[in-house]
Amino acid sequence: MERPSRERQRESESESESAEEVLTCPECNSDEVVTDDDQGELVCDDCGLVLDERQIDRGPEWRAFNHSERQSKSRVGAPITETMHDRGLTTTIDWKDKDAYGRSLSSEKRSQMHRLRKWQERIRTKDAGERNLQFALSEVDRMASALGVPRSVREVASVIYRRALNEDLIRGRSIEGVATAALYAACRQEGIPRSLDEVAEVSRVPQKEIGRTYRYISQELGLELKPVDPKQFVPRFASELGLSEEVQSKATEIIDVSAEQGLLSGKSPTGFAAAAIYAASLLCNEKKTQREVADVAQVTEVTIRNRYQEQIEAMGFR
């Protein structure tokens, strides 16, 4: 009588054989080939011939019931990321002064671990280029957190900065300026609407330098970014103003109609979107003042009034 474990093993083998090529024994031509996980062998169940030995078990060692348990029991570390200068392939010494059993270290061991951490931070960057990259990527991460953009934007911004560093585009320019320009370019490339004013607010360099650096690196790296669509700003501005879906739909319609008549050319996309939201709020009886809309969109009331008049005429209202 076979053991239940062997029956379960054979069932798992039969399920895998349906998806993969069926293995046969070269000695007796039997297809009863089972895997012995304890010995790491592939064995014929009829004649006992060992087909393969010392197989690598790529399965999990423990059972896991949620995401955190799977992460803690994983065979591998964190994935490679472009947001760190060494792509996350470095060794990290924990800041907790405890051993593997959770017991506190002695004063001598604590002093030794403090020295190890200090030297670990020093040797992570081997030259000036890596120190440049480390500082720039930390700036990108800080500004991205302040802007509330997703992690994909940080990855793209890090890649753009690495390309600029490899092409020697940083020479003669500030690290913060190029890092901010890379983040702004990443926002545009990923379709995350952030205006130049918003990016300049969280940066340590003036807006004029950011715009000049952005134009330079986009030209040199051939980024070929499309113009910003004002409709991308509508959901965020409307949400901050507490407006309904009806107002958002009407604002999108106003932008489409006025853009078809060529009114968008040469205009600021944030001001154009703000004027469309203001006009839509009036048409849908959810009135917001020009001052409220201007504060959210970070434009002037004069810009909203000028764009509003053009859009109303384009829609056929007087």
For residue 144, give the nearest of 179, 177, 189 by alpha carbon: 179
CB 208 within 8 A of CB 196: no
What residues contact 144, with CB distance under 8 A and at least 6 apart? 153, 154, 157, 183
**What are the distances in angstroms from CA 314 to CA 101, 126, 269?**
73, 60, 17
Annotated binding residue 28: yes
Percentages helix, strand, coil for the chain (3-state, rounded to 5) are: 55, 5, 40
- Contact by Cβ (8 Å): 279, 308: yes
Cα separations in angstroms, 193 against 116, 149, 217, 230: 43, 9, 20, 9
Distances (CA, A) of 61 to 6, 69, 77, 229: 19, 12, 15, 50
Has 284 been labeled as part of a binding site? no
3-class SS of residue 26: coil
C-alpha–C-alpha distance, residues 94 and 102, integer Å: 12
Q: Which amino acid is at 178?
A: V
Determine if residue 47 is labeled as part of a ligand binding site. Answer: yes
Rg of the chain on CA atoms, in Å? 30
Annotated ligand binding at 187? The verdict is: no
Report the binding-site residues for Zn(2+): 25, 28, 44, 47
Report the binding-site residues: 25, 28, 44, 47
